[in-house]
Amino acid sequence: MSVAAAVTERIHWIGALDPGMRTFDVILKTPSGTTYNSYCVRGSEGVAIIDTVKLECADQFFARLQQFADYGEIRAIVLNHLEPDHSGCLPELLRRAPQAKLYVSESAQLMLKALVKQDGLAFVPVTTGDSVSLGDRTLRFLHTPYLHWPDTQCTYVPEERVLFSGDVFGCHFCDRRMFNDAVGDFRFAFEYYFHHIMRPFKRHVLDALALIEPLDLAAIAPSHGPILRDRPRDYVARYRELATPRLKRETDNGDRTLIVFYISSYGNTRRMAEAICDGAAEVPGLRLSLYDLEGSPVEPLVDLVEEADAILIGSPTINGDAVKPVWDLLSSFAGIHVKGKVAGAFGSFGWSGEAVRMIEDRLRGLKMRVPVAGVKVKLIPAREEILACRDFGRQVGEFLIGRQVTREIDFSELVSAA
């Protein structure tokens, strides 16, 4: 049971080690297991418990809690994040400390009811600016939603200069030495966690950093992995770097970015892609790129899409479907933010031509905007079909720079053509 526990004289780690965990939340590999961090904060007028652990680890949690506090002393329980790996022991903790008040973020309220099926569960919703006094220590709340659920928040104890950051700055890494200056090399785990958990929410990360950066920080105490007491600011700076769009940082002349992806067996869809680029090139203020999906693994392309304003995807129809590299690309968008980006589809076909329609449906399903109906060309694009492709590229480009043409259409066109 010996685990490094004292974050400061007043703050102790009372979480659980889960060294055997190998896959987390379906999407994460955890080769070094994980920890569920919860903390006990002692003030002159009572104790606060920050987060709990997953239900399966209840024994570890309650045993550690009892080393540092009596249940009767607990005044406040804070859940920075309601995911079951942090809220799992809440019902039992409330049973043992019925006098304690529960604090959750404003956006956690409905979710709490769905997660903790307990009638009459009392709680206090809090947001940035709210605080709770423990006598000579204070809990101050920061509203930092969508990191990585709608309900997430951070809690700061100014007298100790410690930030309880929830999943932000966390990682899956299990080492009983617990502090970043004492544990093994966990850099990979830290980056991997950001990449798989925080990446789709970069804008929210930047909002949260605006609240976190002004804080005086002796340590950051996240809800998974090492406690960051050695140079905590480095991790804040790293988050800012990871969350800031690179293209805009490196060159920003205000251009809008349009990427045309295609794949093509006989060059028909490729010819269409080139004509679409030619059309878009007639629109000023666009940064245009053309990529053959055959030429690259998916990951770097996803990086490009993440910072693009618009993407167009071209696929031939093969056996009644768009081809696998296209679906591989599209299925990787879940890890980034694509909602609201402009998108479209095109492709050559032989007789049935399902691909364009299927890609468009998927783009809409991802909440991308598909303002111009896709172009389909039967086999080799003829001169006028090349012109239609150019038009398509130009229309998308004009939509992108806010110079749309006024259109009048009939619903039946949308239903059949789209």
Write down the least CB distance from residue 313 to ligand FMN, Å: 13
Strands (DSSP E) contained in 286-399 are 286-292, 310-314, 342-349, 375-378
| C-alpha separations of 416 from 30, 317, 411 in Å | 47, 17, 9
Of residues 357-376, those binding other proteins (CB under 8 A): 364, 367, 369-372
What 8-state DSSP symbol labels residue 144?
Answer: -
Query: With binding defined as CB under 8 A, does residue 125 bind other proteins?
Result: no
Residue 35, phi then psi, degrees to nearest 5: -125, 150
Which residues, 6 or more positions from 402, have their beta carbon under 8 angstroms from its beta carbon?
Answer: none
Write down the least CB distance from residue 128 to other proteins, Å: 7
Spatial separation of the C-alpha atoms in residues 305 and 286, rounded to whole Å: 15
Q: Which amino acid is at 37?
A: N
CA 325 to chain centroid, in Å, comes to: 24
How many residues bind other proteins (CB under 8 A)? The answer is 25
Query: With binding defined as CB under 6 A, does residue 32 bind ligand FMN?
Result: no
How many residues belong to the chain?
418
Write down the least CB distance from residue 329 to ligand FMN, Å: 16
Choose among other proteins, ligand FMN, none what residue 129 binds, the Cβ cut-off being 5 to 8 Å by kind. other proteins
Spatial separation of the C-alpha atoms in residues 59 and 46, rounded to whole Å: 23
Query: With binding defined as CB under 6 A, does residue 318 bind ligand FMN?
Result: yes
Query: With binding defined as CB under 6 A, does residue 351 bind ligand FMN?
Result: yes
Query: With binding defined as CB under 8 A, does residue 340 bind other proteins?
Result: yes
Instruction: Candidates 37-45, 81-89, 154-162, 397-405: pick the segment binding other proteins (CB under 8 A).
Output: 397-405
Query: With binding defined as CB under 6 A, does residue 382 bind ligand FMN?
Result: no
Query: Tokens 């790996």 correspond to what residue?
Result: 85
Write down the least CB distance from residue 143 to other proteins, Å: 8
Q: How many CB atoms lie within 10 A of CB 104?
A: 24
Q: Which element (helix H / strand E) includes 278?
A: helix 268-281
Candidate residues 128, 133, 138, 296; the one interacting with other proteins per rule CB under 8 A: 128
Candidate residues 38, 105, 348, 395; the one interacting with ligand FMN per rule CB under 6 A: 348
Q: Are 145 and 152 in contact (CB under 8 A)?
A: yes
How many residues bind ligand FMN (CB under 6 A)? The answer is 18
Write down the least CB distance from residue 371 to other proteins, Å: 3
Lookup: tokens for 274: 């080139």
Candidate residues 24, 169, 333, 399; the one interacting with other proteins per rule CB under 8 A: 399
Write down the least CB distance from residue 257 to ligand FMN, Å: 24
Q: Which residues form the interface with other proteins (CB under 8 A)?
A: 127-129, 143, 339-340, 342, 364, 367, 369-372, 399, 404-411, 414-415, 418
